[in-house]
Structure 1
Amino acid sequence: MTTTSTSPRTDAVDDVYWREEYTPITADDAFLARIVAEADLPSLLLALAAATGDRSLLRDELRPGFPPGDIGPAPHGGLSDEAQALARELALAALTRVRDERITTPRRLDDAETAALLDFLTNGAGDADTEVLRHELDLAPQKLGAPRWSFDEVARGRDFTVAVIGTGMSGIGAMYRLSQAGVPFTAFEKNPEVGGVWWANTYPGVRLDTPTFAYSYSFAQRADWPSAYARGSEIEQYALEIVERARLREHVVFDTEVTAMTWHEEAGEWEVVTRAGDGTETAHRFNAVISAVGQLERPNIPEYPGRAGFRGAQMHSARWDHGVDLAGKRVAVIGTGASAYQIVPSIVDDVAELTVFQRSGPWMVPAPNCHDATPEALAWLGEHVPYYGQWFRLSGFFQSATGRTHTVVAEPGWEREDSVSPVNLRVRELLTEIIREQWRARPELIDTVVPSYPPGGKRMLRDNGVWAEALQRPHAHIVTSGIDHFTETGIVTADGEEHELDVVIYATGFLAADFLDPIQVRGTTGETLKEHWQGDATAWGGISVPGFPNLFIVMGPNTNYVVHGSQHFMMECAVEFAVEAIHQTLLRGVKGFDVTQEALDAFVAAVDAENATRAWGQPQVRTWYKNSAGRVSQIWPFSHVEYWQLTHDVDFDRDFTTHL
């Protein structure tokens, strides 16, 4: 177990994928013209202006407006045809200059250049937005995010260690920032490898349902992704590479699960009990704990009557049994969410019969390229134009800050239950028309496959037509009658029909509302976290809970998104708050902090009020976003900027209790 202090990282740039040299351009003018014709223009103009120092490329008439799209972003940030033509002319000349002058090294920007480039990207949105973007921009003179302090400078000789629970995406973020500050820490991982859900989920077809470039850390901006929507194995490889590049593996204890945690007030320490793969239990002492156990980790398998007596094979999507051969089998998939949407088209050609048990059909937004390789122009520019891939990522990051939020705001007094506003109804009609076209050969099933709930009430899936195509195969069936019970040979539905089966696949989601379960976490009063929450998990920023000092939850309550946002940004903000709280603990010579009840109550009231105005917060919408109390306990309804401000503009004296 490694808990020794290390020196802060001294890398010139806070990015483990940083490149000092890009491949020189040798292509002819005709090839460059084709690349420019296919490239995303706002990203290309920004990259070329940064690489060459020529800010004349950033003309006012070429500023991307990024008009909000009802079902997808406007091409090239909404530039007119005339503006696109001018942008391509300027970009081609600048790209030729990059070739002829052999510009292969990224230029670090000064404050004025950074401000000009971000003002162009955001169309003058203002300081709050550009501050957040500086968190993502390696080229900025002071990229935000990394700790500006070191353990040795603040607390040399103090016996202080941190436990990180889990090494999925949240845990990797926590380890990275702690290592930058030189804080001694140990990470416990119950699996034999890092990656979290991307290690655990190996079902057929597993991949991102968001564009790949959006799924990355600010400190690990990979630019050579092979797929437009990365396969699960590609994201797992990304996790492995970060751990190796950042030298984090030495801090991880694998095959070791945390089972219990108890706060000892007098010592100012958490007693953390772990259980190794051989069953051995060990008690450790840490001054702070960062929980990165994730939300989509513990499978939810409904307890249908008779399920234990079913003689066929059963598996949850997150616990895929590769020893089960589906060829020629009668297979059931229960659920129609993200994993089912990927599994069904991937297995339909192998099975003898496929039955999908559906509570409600999914809404899907068009994404014709979701199974495609990264576009040639994007891949080529990422290899040959310094920092292009990162500008492409930053442009997408900025657009995701608002995303399709305008489509899910509920209009007071709106009487239809299938939508929440005129805009939401328009989205419903647009998406329904797409579904009608996909199912034109089976019009009798339209009412079955069109969702009854408002668009945006649940996360929308990415649609390239394969779901509809798979379910229209002669041997595929959709069952909408509820499951009554299992028999030894199949499933009987509420209408009395028995469906004979060989394999049942549960695409039934996770126990997402049971944060930190099954770990028994006991705080200052002796009460457990589960007893404290009583089924309604709340935490300030999703991170801190009164009575549980120096416990920092990453991706805790109310930190998920539906139609906008970046999960990696939310993870990083939570981790950066935790690291700063540790800094304040060391700087002040105290035992630690936890949030006051007043600050938590104010936070929850604001989040609840905003969620009540969104599609997912409407009473007719049934979703895992709501806990057993009916409260939306999963979703962050505000913007990137507001979460950044919450977690970085913190008054520890006003909103937190100090443990002396």
Structure 2
Amino acid sequence: MTRTGMPGRLCIIGAGYVGNGLARALRQAGIPYDQFEATGEIGGNWAHGVYDSTHLISSKKSTQYVEYPMPADYPTFPGRAQMLRYLNDYVDHFGLREHIEFDTEVVEVRPLDRTGMAGWAVTLSTGERREYAGVVVANGHYWERNTPSYPGTFSGRQLHSKDYKRPADFGTGDRVLVVGGGNSASDLAVEAAAAFGGADLSMRSGYWFIPKTIFGIPASEWDRVWLPMPLQRLGFKALLRLSYGRYERYGLQKPDHELFSKDVTVNSSLMYALLHGKVRPRKEIARFDGSTVHFADGTSGEYDTIVWATGFRTRFPFLDESMFVWENGQPLLIEHVLVPRYANLYIWGLVAPRSGAGKIISHGSDFLAEAAVAQRLFPVPLSDLVARRMPARSSILAGSAEILTRIRLLRRVLHGHCRRARMLGDVASWGARRGPTPELAHRGPARELPSPAEASETVRPTGVVETEVPV
């Protein structure tokens, strides 16, 4: 059965930290919407994707929604149960729960015309098909597990960090190897060491480790003012040298990449465990031989359990993924949100900020509510108009101050286009006078983006998001 929605009605996929922030903005703006959650709970990854001992790696001040602060009695770094309570309280405070259809998965999203200008058809797990003016994808990017493969066969227990909840999940043996260098890998290595007296941590290369606080200030709160990247790196490296010194002192490899060019690991307990001999660093795995794991430096160890804290792959299984242009496993998006050459489709939450995402979600959701309404003024995808000034990029890494600055710029660009459209009065004729939309620019080697037809030949995503603990 196909049900046509109200004019201007939107579909939100996901009822997690990001999706609910947008639902609040749409409700306050008076924009009708339906919201679908595949599970029976509020909270997304916080409800079903993290371990019991998970705590924020960013402070409550930088993680809370602007419009709904966390309780005053919450600690600086709230835990999983507190985050879930906060997210549920947020939903109830703004009256969002009644608009969420739980245990309803979105299985297919297709444009009603070539670019989505006419709207989108959404097929649900119930078999029902609904039509919407636009779709917001907020399904998160911490769910499709990435598990690398190595020569040989390991005879012990294996699990991904996504499936770990508590120490009992390590199994009956006490020899644990954690693989990875991100937040989850660090946490689980320390947790295994506390449970069994020791654990090994295998890393394929060097990572940048940042303490949770610097001079008593949460690391996430140092990202307050936008600065050019060279200055950010210079300042943060000085702070890290004062806090941790040289990583080699802890037995860790020197980072093989520039600071902030990949995800950083925010953890203070790992360094303590390394200095006390509770966690032993290992090189990358070379091969398996039963319970023996051989490492790239020629050493080996015997293990009962391997925990793969090796990140996730970005996927949109309900969309035709060939509609995106992929680079390094991530889709090219304009400001992490707009899809080149498509209208009324918004990817919300595909960003890894260096500090808490609260302000980004609050201010970005307000912008998206404006963008959804503004799209009705134009005869071409809004993404094409914005791309003339703001190029499409594939990187999901950014500083919070940078993102907030660009959200303000994006809103000014949007308002400028809207004023121009209203001044001309006849939007359709204005679009004709402007001529065809130019090719979208993007950062990186100069080349043209393929057309939607050519994009069908694009290789499917293979990149990995390694930071696993929500901010």
TM-score tier, shorter chain, comes to 0.7 to 0.9
Indicate how the Cα distance of structure 1 residues 295 and 263 shifts in structure 2: closer, same or farther if over 3 A, else same.
same
Q: Tell me which of 272, 279, 286 is aligned to 2:132.
A: 286
Structure with more strand by fraction: 2
Q: Could you tell which deviates more after superposition, 448-457 or 641-650?
A: 448-457
CA distance in 2, matches of 1:585, 1:450: 48
C-alpha separation in 1, matches of 2:165 and 2:212 = 31
Which amino acid in structure 1 is aligned with residue 318 of structure 2?
Answer: I
Write the distance in 2 (CA, Å) between the matches of 1:179 and 1:290.
14
Give the match for residue 192 of structure 1.
40
Q: Choose the corresponding residue for 1:409, options 227, 230, 242.
A: 230
The alpha carbon displacement at 1:347 in A equals 2.8
SS in 2 for 1:429: helix
> Which structure is richer in relative contact order (CA contacts within 8 A, separation 6 or more)?
2
SS in 2 for 1:315: strand
Aligned-partner Cα distance in 1 for 2:259–2:162: 26
Q: 2:110 aligns with which of 262, 266, 279?
A: 262
Distance 1:354 1:430 in 2: 27
Matched, 1:545 2:344: no
The equivalent of 1:223 in structure 2 is 71
Structure 2 counterpart of 1:604, from 388, 391, 402: 391
Of 409, 413, 420 in structure 2, the residue corresponding to residue 645 of structure 1 is: 409
TM-score (norm 1): 0.55
**Contact 1:326/1:351 (8 A) holds in 2:** no
CA–CA separation in structure 2 for the residues paired with 1:544 and 1:273:
22
Greater shift in the superposed pair: 573-582 or 228-237: 573-582
Query: Counterparts of 1:646 and 1:455 in 2: how far apart (Å)?
Result: 27
For 2:83 and 2:368, the matched residues in 1 are separated by 25
**What do residues 6-61 of structure 1 show as CA deviations (whole Å, max 9, x unaligned)?**
xxxxxxxxxxxxxxxxxxxxxxxxxxxxxxxxxxxxxxxxxxxxxxxxxxxxxxxx
Separation in 2, partners of 1:446, 1:452: 16
1:338 to 183, 187, 200: 183
DSSP-derived class of the 1:324 partner:
helix
Deviations 1:594-637 (A, max 9, x none): 235463254127xx7xxxxxxxxxxxxxxxxxxxxxx6453368
**1:185–1:289: structure 2 CA closer, same or farther, 3 Å change rule?**
same
- Describe the SS at the equivalent of 2:293: strand
- CA separation of 1:332 and 1:199: change in aligned 2, threshold 3 A: same
| Pair 1:204–1:454, CA change in 2 (3 A) | farther
Q: How far apart, CA to CA, are the structure 2 residues paired with 1:533 and 1:353?
A: 39
Quote how far apart the aligned CAs of 1:357 are. Answer: 0.2
Aligned length: 415
The range that moved more, 343-352 or 645-654, is: 645-654
Kindly report which structure 2 residues correspond to 1:94-173, keeping only aligned pairs within 5 A, or say none.
159-173=7-21
Other-structure match for 1:583: 373
Q: How far, CA to CA, are the matches of 1:176 and 1:188 in structure 2?
A: 14
What secondary structure, in the 3-state scheme, does the structure 1 residue paired with 2:145 have?
A: coil
Question: What residue number does 1:635 align with?
Answer: 398
Shift of residue 274, structure 1, vs aligned partner: 2.7
Report 1:426-445 matches (<5 A): 426-427=238-239, 429-433=241-245
User: Could you tell me how far apart the structure 2 residues matched to 1:549 and 1:369 are?
Assistant: 46
Q: Which residue does 2:361 correspond to in 1? A: 571
Counterpart of 2:252 in 1: which secondary structure? helix
Give the root-mean-square deviation of aligned CA atoms: 3.8
* Helix, strand or coil at the partner of 2:334: coil
Q: Judging changes above 3 Å, is the alpha-carbon distance between structure 1 residues 4 and 194 closer, same or farther for their aligned structure 2 residues? A: farther
1:243 aligned residue (78, 81, 91):
91
Match of 1:314 in 2: 158
Question: CA offsets, 1:168-189, max 9 Å, x none?
Answer: 1110011111222333222122
| Residue 209 in structure 1 maps to residue 3 in structure 2 | no
Opposite residue 409 of structure 1, the aligned amino acid is P
How far 1:483 moved relative to its partner?
A: 1.3
Q: Which residue number in structure 2 is paired with residue 233 of structure 1?
A: 81
Q: Secondary structure at the match of 1:603?
A: coil
Change (3 A) 1:535 1:506: closer
Q: How far apart are residue 206 of structure 1 and its match?
A: 1.1
Following superposition, the deviation at residue 532 of structure 1 comes to 7.4
In the alignment, structure 1 segments of 5+ residues that lack a partner are 6-157, 376-392, 412-419, 437-443, 523-527, 609-630
CA distance in structure 1 between the aligned counterparts of 2:385 and 2:372, rounded to whole angstroms: 22
Give the match's secondary structure for 2:121: strand
Which residue of 2 is the match for residue 363 of structure 1?
209
Q: Matches of 1:269 and 1:366 in 2, distance apart?
A: 44
Larger % of helix: which? Answer: 1
Q: Does 1:272 align with 2:272?
A: no
Q: Percent identity?
A: 20
Letter matched to residue 366 of structure 2: E
Deviation string for 1:53-78 (max 9, x for gaps)?
Answer: xxxxxxxxxxxxxxxxxxxxxxxxxx
Q: In the alignment, residue 264 of structure 1 is paired with which amino acid?
A: L
1:170 and 1:648 map into 2 onto residues whose CA distance is 23
Q: d(CA) in 1 for partners of 2:139 and 2:326?
A: 19
> 1:467–1:595: structure 2 CA closer, same or farther, 3 Å change rule?
same
Go from structure 1 to structure 2 and tell me whether the alpha carbon gap of 1:520 and 1:427 turns closer, same or farther (over 3 Å shift).
Answer: same
Q: Computing the radius of gyration over CA atoms, which structure comes out larger, 1 or 2?
A: 1
Change (3 A) 1:447 1:498: closer
- 2:387 counterpart SS class: helix
| Superposition deviation, residue 230 in structure 1 | 1.0
**2:353 equivalent to 1:561:** yes
Is the aligned partner of 1:519 residue 2:321?
Answer: no
CA distance in structure 2 between the aligned counterparts of 1:217 and 1:340, rounded to whole angstroms? 27
Residue 457 of structure 2 corresponds to none
Aligned counterparts of 1:533 and 1:445: Cα–Cα separation in 2: 36
Residue identity opposite 1:547 in structure 2? R
1:262 Cα deviation from its structure 2 partner? 0.9
> Deviation string for 1:246-268 (max 9, x for gaps)?
22122222233323211113992
SS class of match (2:391) = helix
Q: 470-479 vs 338-347, which deviates more? A: 470-479
1:583 and 1:534 map into 2 onto residues whose CA distance is: 32
Q: Which deviations, in whole Å up to 9, do the C-alpha atoms of 1:387-424 show, x marking residues without a partner? A: xxxxxx9xx97x64327x56x5169xxxxxxxx65x56
Q: Which TM-score applies when normalising by structure 2?
A: 0.75
**CA deviation profile, 1:235-285 (whole Å, cap 9, x unmatched):** 12111111122221222222333232111139922111233xxxx544222
**Is contact 2:49–2:162 with CA below 8 Å preserved after alignment?**
yes
- Any unmatched runs of 5+ in structure 2? 422-426, 433-471
